[in-house]
Amino acid sequence: MKIMVVGGGGREHAIIKKLKENKSITEIFALPGNGGMAKDATPVAIGAKDIPAIVEFAKANAIDFAVVAPDDPLVLGCVDALLEAGIPAFGPKANAAIIEGSKVFSKNLMKKYSIPTAAYEVFEDAESALKYVESCEIPTVIKADGLALGKGVIIATDREMAIDAVKSIMTDKKFGASGNRIVVEEFLTGPEVSVLAFTDGKSVVPMVSSMDHKRALDGDEGLNTGGMGTVAPNPYYTDEIAEECMRTIFIPTIEAMNKEGREFRGCLYFGLMLTPKGPKVIEYNCRFGDPETQVVLPLLETDLLEAMMATASGNLDKCKIKFANKAACCVIMASKGYPEKYESGYEIKIAPEVFDSVYVAGARLEGERLVNAGGRVLGVTAVSDTLGEAIEAAYKKVEKVTFDNAYYRRDIGQRAMKALKE
């Protein structure tokens, strides 16, 4: 079988490595992929948002199954276009991907169907938004409606910040048209949990839970990033909480989308906060999380292609999805200075014995040399029987990967370890 994966980061590399375990796959193309995954897939210089070129490529190369991983192409209708061209594809259609594509849509959906989330107001003009934040409770959370490269959420810890956030999103259009509308919502507290779930609109099968580490520096200090590391499972997510989330969040969300005529087929990401008043939805994503995928898929025992095909064809109930009763830790190695200014072009050396554990995100080939070409360069994952062992093993593997100006957090998983001891 010939497979095509749309996207080019560490998440896509993790998907590709897992797919490769299926021996019926003869070739995997990554559009655009990156030089760091060239040993696992054939990178093709087609951008993830160039939908006409993606469809043309799939037809010309007789692709048997496509996986669309990033949010942008999903929201832009990449799966719709592939399906219309007769190419089976994993991922939601555009009318369902809106669950991530518009925060106003997702908040209104949750309100309409009583799915627990932070209380909120929607604003369509800067004037009324400013008036509101001048007297609302602080801290408050301000979110651009549309996609904003994961940067459209501002936690305002004082009023001045809240006012600046509204101005930069709505007046200065920091995120372009994504900021035409904003959501201002209640500030929630509690441990965060990421739960990815396969769903075909009829069944919903949560994967093993995980914990992201979004801040750049140790101790959850510094700027928000795309994610500096992950662990799975998330110790805060007990069986009891999982049961409650299934009943109050997962099933109601799938049913709500069906009732709206927006059946969701693909991977639905639930960003949850376990508040003192119970689990609440912080955000939905219409895709696998990055870097959550880099710890979740290594624990998957079921064949990934089989699970994806069952999901895409509406036969998820016939596929038994199993995860190993183990733990995983992924440490992201970034370029020093990320998420602000950083230098690139330094050669990356990966020792052969850890090659299978490395998921490359920001790198390119210069002849035979692999050099860093992005803020988040790669992720290193280890799986072990316990979380403590997985963390230790991941950091040991990190020592086998070198490039100048490499930076990584030293405390990935420590919060989870603390929770396990409590």
Among 40, 185, 200, 290, binds ligand GLY (CB under 6 A): 290
Question: Quick one: tokens of 403?
Answer: 């490039």
Does 355 contact ligand AMP by CB under 6 A? no
Q: Specify the residue, 141 or 286, whose C-beta has the smaller distance to ligand AMP.
A: 141
In contact, 22 and 16? CB cutoff 8 Å: no
From 37-45, 182-190, 288-296, 402-410, give the range in contact with ligand GLY by CB under 6 A. Answer: 288-296
Return the residue matching tokens 């996207």.
7
Taking Cα atoms as reference points, which of 141, 151, 142 lies closest to residue 176? 151
Q: How far apart are the first and last CA of the chain?
A: 48
* DSSP symbols for 203-249: -EEE---BEE--EEEGGGEEEE-S-SEEEES-TT--HHHHHHHIIII
Closest distance to ligand AMP from the beta carbon of 271 (Å): 6
What is the rounded CA–CA span in Å between residue 333 and residue 351?
15
* Stretch (H or E) spanning 398: helix 387-398
Among 292, 295, 333, 360, binds ligand GLY (CB under 6 A): 292
The number of residues that bind ligand GLY (CB under 6 A) is 7
Does 185 contact ligand AMP by CB under 6 A? yes
Among 19, 75, 188, 299, binds ligand AMP (CB under 6 A): 188
Among 40, 283, 292, 303, binds ligand AMP (CB under 6 A): 283
Among 271, 278, 314, 388, binds ligand AMP (CB under 6 A): 271
Among 212, 256, 327, 382, binds ligand GLY (CB under 6 A): 212
Q: Specify the residue, 32 or 271, whose C-beta has the smaller distance to ligand AMP.
A: 271
Q: From the list ligand GLY, ligand AMP, none, which binds 118 (C-beta under 5 to 8 Å, kind-based)?
A: ligand AMP
Does 40 contact ligand GLY by CB under 6 A? no
Among 51, 81, 89, 141, binds ligand AMP (CB under 6 A): 141
From 127-135, 150-158, 343-351, 409-417, give the range in contact with ligand AMP by CB under 6 A. Answer: 150-158
Q: Specify the residue, 43 or 227, whose C-beta has the smaller distance to ligand GLY.
A: 227
Burial status of residue 336 (CB atoms within 10 A of its CB: 0-12, 13-18, 19 or more): middle
Distances from the Cα of 167 to the Cα of 58, 175, 180, angstroms: 43, 12, 11
Burial status of residue 114 (CB atoms within 10 A of its CB: 0-12, 13-18, 19 or more): exposed
Closest distance to ligand GLY from the beta carbon of 290 (Å): 5
In contact, 331 and 346? CB cutoff 8 Å: no
**Interface ranges with ligand GLY (CB under 6 A):** 150, 212, 227, 285, 289-290, 292
